[in-house]
Structure 1
Amino acid sequence: MSIDIDPLCDAPGLTVTDHIENTQFELYADRPVTPRPSPVDDHYFPVDASVTVETGSIEIPRIAVVETRSSDGTLLARGDDLAMPDGEYHLGINPAPTKLYTHFESGFSVTTTDRTTRIDLEEVTDVTLGFRSLHQRPAGTITTPTDPESLMDAVSLLGSALQTTSPERSFPTLRGHPPLIEPGDRLRVPDRIERPESGVRIVVPPTYRDLYPVVPLAYYFAAEVVPGSAARIEGDGWSHSLEPDVERRAAEVLRQSFHFDCIARTEGFYPVDLHEREMTAADLDWAALYEAPLAERLGTYLEVPFAGIEPELPQWTLTTDVRPDPDNVESLPFVAGELSIVRSPETATPAESGPGGGVGFLRAPEPGPGTLVRGGTDAGTAAADGSDLRGADAGEADPRGADAPGDRGTALGSTGFVRPEPVETVEHAWVGDGVPLDANKATLDAYRRRLETGTVEQSRISVLVVCNDEQMREEGKVSELYGLRDMVQFDIEVRHDLTRAEMREALASDVDFLHYVGHVDDRGMQCTDDYLDLTQEDLRVNVSAFLLNACQSYEQGEALIHRGGRGGIVTLSDVANSPATKLGRIVARLMNSGFNLRTALHVAKRELLTGHQYIVVGDGATTICQSRSGIAAVIDIESNGSELDFTMSAYPNGPYGVGTMYSPTIENVSTNYSVPTDAKIHGISSEQLTSLLQLETVPVFYDGELHWSDELLPL
């Protein structure tokens, strides 16, 4: 079973461990409880595990919204402060690290404090608790020839994963993971994979360059994809052109239709106050659109000129460049599942080599004395704008690391670097040959490891900090930044001065996150007795995520992915020790707070120009835990006289993907938002903000400088 439910040892209640998603949380009762297995069909919504306990209350240590439904699923009430008379109820509690449902017969009330949500029953009774992992798996694998026209038949089946064609499929839990695709001599489709009849058809010329950008649309619209001379989307009685720029027009259709679906779904099971509905310039009959078939609804959406509603659309999270190559077809279901905007560049601009062995804006300055870098040289390194970092941000008076040979510092030549076109999204991934500057180098191996769900024996999340250079031990203190959260259990180990054999053993251990601090050059990772070259050695790697905070660690990090890792952060050039230490600490706290690798690096880049010397390899969506609130949130605060202007930026994260609904817990604020829309509130008081920041440790940019919420209190 993927979910374990056990009594708490030191308090009345339960510990719930989801071994698939590496999450753990606690439920409290008003008396000691012994969970008894119960049928999963006792719940209105599907669950993976169900138990029954006798109790007079249920409490979870987070602020949550409780949805109250009758026995037939009708929504009766929704909120964090409510009371219901005697009756039979099914409750959904959101957010929680798993889907959490309760079923009981009793009147009850819901109350919240600044940290907890409590459900008090009118009498002690049997309460059935259901839990469903938020992990999603594809229903099977489609085999297909990889020429563009044949591939269209397989792409047309990606929408089989949708659990509904209603606007509610804008919720991530109702989309499902698309079936996988693998090359073969003919089309083979498992019996359980069947595309729902959506009435939508996408016509594109039979080229990879035209097909790849519409793959997310084929998935989200459950559309049939067919060859034709002019790119367009068709429904019954309408047609919408994707000419002359398929990439741009497909991105516009995805953003516009998804935005409108989030608004239309407020006419269904979730009639909430939604910011996007209040602010839209579109004058549409949302009630009629909610009831309309998908194709009719989409046709009405696309009658609204994109230019008229573009200002209200949130910044989309992810763009993925998928090179127009048949070798990349197996990555398409993963890219579609993220609802990424897709571009398919035919050419990749090589990054030019420059003085000092650097590349483009990563070019290092001429060697100078007195700057410790994390590779084989003691040269300074360059900021994103090409300036020397050997000043207040990077300079060390002592030539620490000078024992590393000065002629072995180049671990990656410039020939493999490519410079993708800039993106307008928060994150950027690259699928194909080449090492992309300032983008996530995604790989099929890493994507596939999202789906691995082998038995996990430990319920605690393991973090290993390895420091193989005594002059860099300041960053070893990052271990103090893990394990701060009371919702997740961390096992943290700090090891110094490992030998080759010890490093091999560490890489083979079941570690959720490896934070390596030390030297890397073309010989590999420095150990006390020699260098361990991950590109040459046959290693067993069980590390899931990692940060190789060392000079030019790209090739070693890529080798970790090929040998078993899922995702990591690496460097493309020499990095000076002081900013590298600062970035390492930022990333440590972000990963501890539930951010994925791509978003963690995005936030770090806002604080440090040197962040542009780092990229993500493998699966950039990798996390080691979930945040308390589910989504990954960054808060911006600007002083405005005696009041404050507040912005919460919400990022898709694991099961809390694009379309997740959230609301900042601020007094007198009840509006909901859909990820990735930013919540912007002008003129809040310091008291209101203090109450919010006490709920969870989150990154806060206060007047443009990065802080952490626990460091700012009291305001």
Structure 2
Amino acid sequence: MSIDIDPLREADGITVTDHIENTQFEVYTDRPVEPRRRPESDHYFPVDASVAIETGSIEIPRVAVVETRAGDGTLLTHGDCYTMPDGTYHVGINPAPTKLYLTFDAGFSVSTTDRTTRIDLDAPGTVGLGFRSLHQTPAGTITTPTDPESLMDAVSLLGSALQTTSPERSFPTLRGHPPLIEPGDEFRVPERVEPVDSGVRIVVPPEYRYLYPVVSLAYYFAADVVPGDDPRMEGDGWTYPLEPGFEARTAQVLRQSFHMDCLARTEGFYRVDLHERETTDLDLDWGRLYDLPLAERLGEYLDVPFADVEPELPQWTLTTDVRPDPGNVEMLPFVAGELSIVRSPETVTPVEDDGGAGVGFLGGPDRSSARATRREVPAGGGLGDDEFVRGGASAAATRGADASAERGAVAAQTDFVRPEPVDTVEHAWVGDGVPLDANKATLDAYHRRLVTEEVEQSRISVLVVCNDAQMREEGKVANLYGLRDMVQFDIEVRHSLTREEMRDVLASDVDFLHYIGHVDDRGMQCADCYLDLTDEDLEIKVSAFLLNACQSYQQGEALVHRGSRGGIVTLSDVANSPATKLGRIIARLMNSGFNLRTALHVAKRELITGHQYIVVGDGGTTVCQSRSGIAVVFGISEQGTESYNLSADFYPNGNHGVGSLSWLSLPVTEDNHYVPTQLTVEDVPAKELTDLLDLELLPVFYSDELVWSDNLELC
């Protein structure tokens, strides 16, 4: 049992301890109580632990929203101040350190103060309390030898994190984080990691190149992974081949089954009007499919040809390339937890071996900074006579102490690789080499995602460091942070820091560092000399960063290695003007709640120079949550007199992961959509669109040009 429930000693109520998340909180009552175990089935939603107590009130020490459902699960109301007549109710309180559900037979009232939320029953009675771990932290670590057959046993336990095998596991809050995996001499499983008998088997040859691509399937279907010659999936009475085109077939299974689970779950706890349910042209009995066991349901899903479903599928968010190397086994739970499409390329194209096409800026035969940078500047935006780049390539083109023509674009030991293109929004790379156009994912950064520390302040700290006077135009980027009403930012701008001052900055608890200046193989330029993060013994507490300088990959990689979660870096020399523009775009996107990977994806839509940048570390890193919780990009085009066509791209982000529900606050569209999605609405009146844009600070591509909702004036 991951959750313990005990009576309070110095007050009336209970204390709830979640051993997975290492959280503890108190629930207060109006009298002493002795919790007694009750079946988890007493509650409408899945729970990990259930007790009953006798009380006249329930109070938690935080402000929350109380959601009330009838005995059959029908949603009746939600809010923080209301009354309900006599009846049988299922009540949810959110947020709380665990999911918290109540069930009782009585009328009641809900009230809140600035610190508490309270439910008072009309008459004291029995109240059932159910708790479910939010399970964003792994339940434990599986130790395993790293040969493929032993590793199959570990991968077979990734699905132990699922809170349910129903279609509702397509909601991110019902999946949980898979247990971690680490190499060891013997196979050992911690007590809290318990297998789920889903009835699904995945049969693959015992080779890394076959095992790695099925880790997301093993997790999502709680499947047993076993060795065999012919790659396939099996259930009771059915077999689905994973050849020919093994990696493509695994991706199809994930996308198709997840999509169909999102449709089937509308027959369960959340009977919402789902747009994808209405537009998917399949003659299926979704109610019957919802009630089937997981393996049987999956078999019927896969009876539907992929070609019949593909036109309805959204663009998937993430593809991760994991090189077939035993050294990458510890990354598998993180990759699976993101429901990433996984490929395991045995070979990869070194950049030096592709004839030099398109890679001159990465240190090809001609390393002239002027020529290198012009390749990446959009048409009409080439270097002027007084343009300069942000690194040390030649004295004529570069500002900085002792710039030397001998310094190439990238240190010689850096090996660039060109992964195969992907069809997803985001792309991550696990393995040796620096990938072009992909997130260089690292294990230490992913582990920092799991570190939960007490938040000492609610304000988000952003530090802009400008270490070159000629780049102070971008220093105005600080004005682009802190514009949102819902989040408080502490903004600081500092200029021309010395080496010691820069060391102090990196050791400070800064949520986001935006560095503007020069970088070369000596390190980050400071007012007095250079600070080389790869050589120095530094304390790093900066959470996320943008190193908007030439050739900043190695310095950014060092930041991640020593303590940061992730950041955006450059692979080449970058011209100052487009670098300034990109820096401002990234600043506003991070301020609007985007994660690093999605922010760079959006920036690349606006600037071709964005392809000189990649993400290092955990590409899912955010510095704040968007007001709506989900990262959204609008596209607007004029349709006619005072009407517009609108497209909206919804990206998974933070706690609102793949499978979350989303909708647009427009009178003409009331359907829900599941994330990720792109929805389009035609002929939106200007007034309605203006009201929508006023709700949140959002990036908008207006007639294919990136603007911001707070600066967009519609005709």
| Alignment correspondent of 1:468 | 467
Aligned mate of 2:399, from 386, 392, 402: 402
Kept after mapping to 2: 8 A contact 1:504/1:539: yes
Q: Partner residue of 1:518?
A: 517
CA distance in 2, matches of 1:608, 1:96: 42
- C-alpha separation between the residues in 2 aligned to 1:102 and 1:516? 49
Query: Amino acid of the residue matched to residue 136 of structure 1?
Result: Q
- 1:455 alignment partner, SS class: coil
Q: Structure 1 stretch 699-708 or stretch 329-338: which is displaced more?
A: 699-708
State the partner residue of 2:210: 210
Q: What is the aligned length?
A: 653
How much does 1:359 deviate?
A: 3.0
Structure 2 residue aligned with 1:38 = 28
8 Å contact 1:352–1:414 — kept in the other structure?
Answer: no
Does the Cα contact within 8 Å between 2:361 and 2:372 map onto a contact in 1?
Answer: no
CA distance in 1, matches of 2:131, 2:464: 33
Distance across 2 between alignment mates of 1:670 and 1:254: 28
Aligned to 2:431: 432
Partner-residue secondary structure (3-state), 1:352: helix
Q: Post-superposition shift, 1:135?
A: 6.9
CA distance 1:398–1:625, shift in 2 (3 Å): closer
Offset, 1:344 = 0.2
Task: Map 1:237-248 onto structure 2 (within 5 A).
Answer: 237-248=237-248
Q: Give the aligned partner of residue 12 of structure 2.
A: none
Give the conservation status (yes or no) of the 8 Å contact 2:582–2:603.
Answer: yes
Residue 535 (str. 1) matches residue 534 (str. 2): yes
User: In 2, Cα distance between the equivalents of 1:239 and 1:653?
Assistant: 35
Aligned to 2:500: 501
Other structure's SS at 1:473 match: helix
Please report how far the alpha carbon of residue 244 of structure 1 lies from its aligned counterpart in structure 2 after TM superposition. Answer: 1.6
Alignment of 1:383-394 (within 5 A): 386=375, 391-392=380-381, 394=383
TM-fit CA distance, 1:477? 1.2
Mapped partners of 2:365, 2:638: distance in 1:
38
Distance in 1 (alpha carbons) for counterparts of 2:161 and 2:193 = 8
2:622 pairs with 1:633: no
Between the aligned partners of 2:601 and 2:185, the Cα distance in structure 1 is: 41
Structure ranking higher on relative contact order (CA contacts 8 Å, 6+ apart): 1
The answer on whether the counterparts of 1:652 and 1:675 sit within 8 Å (CA) in structure 2 is: yes
Cα drift, residue 454 of structure 1: 2.8
- State the 1:485 CA deviation: 1.4
Report what 2:579 is aligned to: 580
Query: Partner residue of 1:160?
Result: 160
Distance 2:356 2:494 in 1: 33
Asked if structure 1 preserves the Cα contact closer than 8 Å seen for 2:64 and 2:94, the reply is: no
Amino acid at match of 2:510: V
Q: Deviations over 1:403-459 (max 9, x none)?
A: 441423534348500000000000000000000000000001111111111333233
Counterpart-to-counterpart distance in 1, 2:495 and 2:420: 41
Kept in 2, the 8 Å contact 1:94–1:100? The answer is yes
Q: Say if 1:507 and 1:218 are closer, same or farther in 2 by CA, change over 3 A.
A: same
SS for the counterpart of 1:682 is strand
Aligned residue type for 1:158: L
Partner of 1:559: 558
Alpha-carbon distance in 2 for matches of 1:288, 1:634: 36
Kindly tell me: are residues 122 and 202 of structure 1, through their superposed partners in 2, closer, same or farther at Cα, counting changes over 3 Å?
A: closer
1:278, CA displacement in angstroms?
Answer: 0.4
The amino acid that maps onto 2:311 is P
Deviation of 1:644 after TM superposition, in Å, equals 1.5
Distance 2:428 2:243 in 1: 25
How far does the alpha carbon of each residue in 1:46-97 deviate from its partner, in whole angstroms, 9 at most, with x for none?
Answer: 799x984899xx898xxxxx84314x68233368999985347665588999
Q: Distance in 2 between matches of 1:358 and 1:519?
A: 24
The 3-state SS of whatever aligns with 2:333 is: helix
Partners of 2:456 and 2:143 lie apart in 1 by: 34
2:148 and 2:207 in contact (8 A); partners too: yes
Q: Distance in 2 between matches of 1:54 and 1:536?
A: 48
What CA distance in whole angstroms lies between the structure 2 residues aligned with 1:266 and 1:254? 19
Aligned-residue offset at 1:388 = 5.3
Which position in structure 2 is the counterpart of 1:700?
700
Post-superposition offset of 1:121: 11
What SS class does the counterpart of residue 599 from structure 1 fall into? helix
- Tell me the equivalent position of 1:30: none
2:323, 2:346 within 8 Å by CA — same for their partners in 1? yes
Amino acid aligned to 2:297? R
- State the 1:382 CA deviation: 3.5
Q: Which residue of 2 aligns with 1:24?
A: none
The letter of the residue matching 1:142 is I
| 2:316 corresponding residue in structure 1 | 316
Distance 1:245 1:545, change over 3 A: same
TM-score for the superposition, normalised by structure 2: 0.84
Q: Per the alignment, do residues 133 and 606 of structure 1 end up closer, same or farther by CA in structure 2, a change over 3 Å counting?
A: farther
How big is the shift at 1:670? 1.1
- 1:69–1:75 contact (8 Å) kept in structure 2: yes
* Residues 59 and 296 (structure 1), Cα distance of their counterparts in 2 relative to 1, 3 Å cut: closer
Percent sequence identity over aligned pairs: 68
SS class of match (1:310): helix
TM-aligned CA deviation for residue 321 of structure 1: 0.1
Partner of 2:658: 658
- 1:654–1:612: structure 2 CA closer, same or farther, 3 Å change rule? same
For the 8 Å contact 1:561–1:567, the answer to whether it is kept is yes
- Shift in alpha-carbon separation, 1:182–1:314, aligned structure 2, 3 A: same
In structure 2, the residue matched to 1:255 is: 255
- Whether contact under 8 Å (1:631, 1:656) holds in the other structure is yes
Following superposition, the deviation at residue 390 of structure 1 comes to 9.0
The aligned counterpart of 1:4 is none
CA distance in 2, matches of 1:672, 1:96: 25
Could you tell me how far apart the structure 1 residues matched to 2:563 and 2:434 are? 20
Q: Which residue of 2 aligns with 1:31?
A: none
Q: Aligned partners of 2:458 and 2:256: how far apart in 1?
A: 41
Question: What's the secondary structure of 1:493's corresponding residue?
Answer: strand
Cross-structure match for 1:17: none
The aligned counterpart of 2:150 is 150
Q: 1:615-643 CA deviation, whole Å, 9 max, x = no partner? A: 00000000011111111111111222232
Measure the CA separation in 2 of the matches of 1:98 and 1:645: 41
Unmatched segments (≥5 aa) in structure 1: 1-19, 22-34, 61-65, 110-118, 369-376
- Give the C-alpha shift of residue 461 in structure 1: 1.4
Displacement of 1:659 in angstroms is: 0.1
**Matched-pair contact (CA < 8 Å) for 2:64–2:95:** no
The residue correspondences of 1:682-701 to structure 2 (distance < 5 A) are 682-701=682-701
Matched, 1:452 2:458: no
Give the Cα–Cα distance (whole angstroms) in 2 for the partners of residues 362 and 705 of structure 1. 28
Maintained 8 Å contact 2:202/2:224:
yes
2:64/2:93 contact within 8 Å kept: no
Encode CA deviations 1:527-577: one digit per residue, 9 max, x unaligned. Answer: 111100011111111111000000000000001111111100000000001
Q: Helix, strand or coil for the counterpart of 1:433?
A: coil
| Distance change in 2, residues 1:122/1:139 (3 Å) | closer
Instruction: Output the CA distance in 2 between the equivalents of 1:181 and 1:564.
Output: 21
Question: Which residue does the alignment assign to 1:227?
Answer: 227
Say whether the 8 Å CA contact 1:524–1:533 is kept in structure 2.
yes
Whole-angstrom distance in 1 between the partners of 2:685 and 2:519 = 48
Measured in 2, the distance between the counterparts of 1:316 and 1:539 equals 38
- Please tell me whether the aligned partners of residues 364 and 381 of structure 1 are also in contact (alpha carbons under 8 angstroms): no
Counterpart in 2 of 1:276?
A: 276
Structure 2 stretches lacking a partner, 5+ long: 1-19, 37-42, 50-56, 112-116, 389-396
Aligned mates of 1:262, 1:390 — CA distance in 2: 43
Structure 1 pair 132–293 and aligned structure 2 pair: CA distance change class (3 A)? closer
Which secondary structure does the structure 1 equivalent of 2:152 belong to? helix
Cα gap change, 1:329 to 1:177, in 2 (>3 Å) = same
CA distance in 2, matches of 1:327, 1:634: 37
CA change 1:468–1:173 in 2 (3 A) is: same
Aligned partner of 2:463: which letter?
L
Read off the aligned partner of 1:395 and give its amino acid letter. G
Shift of 1:187: 0.6
Instruction: Give me the CA root mean square deviation.
Output: 3.8
3-state DSSP of counterpart to 2:193: coil
1:347-382: CA deviation from partner (whole Å, max 9, x where unpaired): 1100028999993575789688xxxxxxxx6x3544
